[in-house]
Amino acid sequence: MSDPREPGEGNLRLHTASVDEAEAIAALINEAFRVEAFFIDGDRIQPAKVREMMARGAFLVAEDGAGPPVGCVYVEAKGESGYLGLLSVDPARQGGGLGRRLTAAAEDYCRAAGCTEIGIRVVNLRDVLPPFYRRLGYVEVGIEPFPADLPTKLPCHFLRMAKPL
């Protein structure tokens, strides 16, 4: 029997989200980012912010059947530079390769848009994330402050990572 966390390749469908999916995307992101509760309170994103981001970029969504999305990633192309963020996988599905697949889809999206590099920001307190992205070819290129308007329980900052495409 296959691992229940492993998405069935025949059932998994990736697509670019439409605005009417903003509520489901926000719910997925907030569930996936609950692991950040040790340093930040509240939801990570609201549906209105998802819609705002869709005006600048796109959310690539993974669905497995008729239920809610099981994964998503935000992607934005700006000239030769791409950006991916809010990589989110349903906690019950984590560890099965869906995050890698969504990251590859984001990279393909940026490549198709003419980008020659892609970047991401990860919170320094999420110590499992830099090694995950390093395994995918990303390297640390700098740091930047965490938004001052988001109160945190612990001091933190973003690590910027990038990868040539």
Distance CA 11, CA 20 (A): 22
Name which residue leads in pLDDT, 2 or 139.
139
**Separation of alpha carbons 37 and 64, rounded Å:** 27
What length is written for the chain? 165
* CA proximity to 35, closest of 84, 87, 83, 75: 87
Q: Which domains does the chain possess?
A: 12-164 (3.40.630.30)
DSSP β-ladder status, 71-78 and 58-64:
antiparallel
Segment 75-127, tens digit of pLDDT: 999 999 999 999 999 999 999 999 999 999 999 999 999 999 999 999 999 99
pLDDT in tens, 62-82: 999 878 999 999 999 999 999
SS3 162: strand
Q: What kind and span of H or E run contains 82?
A: strand 81-89
Q: Which residue has the higher pLDDT, 79 or 150?
A: 79
The SS3 of residue 145 is strand
Average pLDDT, the chain: 92
How much of the chain exceeds pLDDT 70, in percent?
Answer: 94
Return the ∠ at Cα 137 (arms to 140 and 27), rounded to 5°: 80
Per-residue pLDDT at 5: 35
Give pLDDT, residue 10. 52
More confident of the two residues 42 and 115: 115
Which residue would you say has higher pLDDT here, 23 or 40?
23
pTM here is 0.91
Averaged pLDDT, 161-165:
98
